[in-house]
């Protein structure tokens, strides 16, 4: 009886397999319940592709988080081999941590591997190590000769990975231009798929004058300058104005954004920051770094600041605390109606896969 049950399950699995449109593998360093752009990206594409009839697997870091660089890559490489060997299309959601082992495995099995760049692992690590306030757009011009041995190796492996991927997808032309120059990429092997811009969820009144700046506590996020603007002894920001920098689980965080006064992001370089896109979807005014990849898309609806200029950041906060200015910028955000859905993004990747054959 048990063997008959197993046989029926195998037959159902076989039918499902034969009826699928194809087999897709997503590799990502983080996945829900972990918080972050790649986690939500992988989760939503997996759901959409599944509804469209594809068989989708996700491989992510678990034990790898506790392993040193190199060993981590090797471990992940062997872990994904069975899934790579049976996939028709593979999407890697970073350029090095999962990108390098994924492209290597894809080459061995002759698979289509698309890398979707998020941030920049090398630049982020360099800022963390040195503490230098180097803008992302200046990094490869100013600091390439100052890389240590490990960073030089990462640069070479990243260049190897990007140039051996079937396609490299960027969410903005800003980052693509930086990478094409830095890593000698063939622009014909690159593509642009914009980030998710959801439909508006309505207007939400603030219940306290809290500026949301929640992000990972990394040096390139520039939280030290932001905290100094709000909390230094001679700050002219009123004492009843709050700054929230801690993160929380996605649904809980979205509630905090809904109840907030505004959103503020002053990082040294951000490609398609989800914090700003969440603010737009919830019609919240925002202050954003000028060093952002989506500037051309949102330049008319937000206040933009030099992330290295405390006075400019302070002035932007004070401007938004004025009731008339607040209403003006909230109306600008409300007027923004560009939408780019996960469904559209999923289709764009499939078209990209088709054109790569």
Q: C-alpha dihedral over 29, 215, 344, 50, to 10 degrees? A: 40
pTM of the model: 0.89
What's the pLDDT at 354? 83
Strands 242-244 and 262-265: unpaired
The pLDDT, as a whole number, for residue 5 is 52
Cβ proximity of 104 and 77 under 8 Å = yes
Burial class of residue 165 in the structure, from the number of CB atoms within 10 Å of its CB (0-12 exposed, 13-18 middle, 19+ buried): buried
Mean pLDDT of 176-183: 97
The pLDDT value given to residue 2: 53
- Give the pLDDT mean for 48-53: 96
* pLDDT tops 90 at residue 119: no
pLDDT tens track for 318-351: 999 999 999 999 999 999 999 999 999 999 999 9
**How confident is the model over 251-296, as pLDDT tens digits?**
888 999 999 999 999 999 999 999 999 999 999 999 999 999 999 9
User: Could you tell me what percent of the chain has a pLDDT over 70?
Assistant: 94
Q: What is the DSSP letter of 1?
A: -
Q: At a CB cut-off of 8 Å and minimum separation 6, what does 39 contact?
A: 28, 30, 31, 32
pLDDT, one tens digit per residue, over 78-118 is: 999 999 999 999 999 999 999 999 999 999 999 999 999 98
Query: pLDDT value at position 9?
Result: 54
With a cut of 50, say whether residue 17 has pLDDT above it: no
Amino acid 318: pLDDT: 97
- What pLDDT is stored for residue 16 in this prediction? 47
Segment 228-236 shows an average pLDDT of 91
């Amino acid at each position: 009886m048990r063997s008959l049950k197993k046989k029926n399950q195998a037959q159902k699995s076989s039918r499902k397999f034969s009826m699928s449109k194809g087999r897709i593998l997503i590799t990502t360093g983080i996945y829900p319940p972990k918080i972050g752009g790649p986690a939500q990206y992988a989760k939503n594409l997996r759901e959409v592709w599944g509804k469209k009839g594809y068989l989708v697997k996700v491989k992510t870091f678990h034990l790898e988080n506790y392993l040193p660089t190199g060993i981590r890559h090797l471990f992940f490489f062997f872990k994904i081999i069975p899934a790579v060997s049976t996939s028709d299309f593979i999407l890697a959601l970073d350029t090095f941590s999962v990108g390098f082992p994924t492209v290597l495995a894809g080459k061995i099995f002759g698979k289509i591997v698309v890398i979707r760049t998020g941030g920049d692992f090398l630049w982020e690590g360099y800022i963390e190590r040195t503490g230098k306030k180097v803008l992302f757009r200046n990094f490869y011009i100013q600091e390439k000769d100052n890389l240590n041995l490990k960073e030089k190796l990462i640069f070479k492996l990243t260049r190897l990975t990007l140039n051996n991927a079937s396609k490299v997808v960027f969410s903005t032309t800003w980052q693509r231009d930086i990478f094409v120059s830095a890593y000698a990429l063939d622009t014909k092997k690159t593509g642009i798929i914009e980030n998710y811009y959801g439909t508006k969820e309505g207007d939400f009144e603030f219940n306290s004058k809290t500026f949301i700046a929640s992000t990972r506590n990394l040096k390139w996020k520039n939280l030290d300058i932001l905290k100094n603007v709000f909390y230094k002894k001679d700050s002219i920001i009123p004492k009843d104005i709050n700054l929230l920098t801690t993160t929380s689980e996605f649904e809980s965080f979205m509630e905090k954004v809904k109840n907030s006064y505004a959103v503020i992001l002053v990082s040294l370089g951000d490609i398609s920051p989800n914090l700003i896109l969440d603010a737009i979807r919830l019609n919240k005014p925002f202050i954003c770094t000028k060093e952002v990849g989506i500037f051309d898309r949102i330049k008319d609806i937000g206040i933009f600041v030099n992330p290295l200029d405390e006075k400019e950041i302070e002035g932007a906060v004070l401007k938004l605390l004025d009731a008339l200015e607040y209403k003006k910028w909230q109306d600008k955000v409300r007027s923004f109606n560009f939408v780019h859905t996960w469904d559209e993004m999923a289709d764009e990747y499939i078209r990209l896969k088709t054109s790569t054959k």
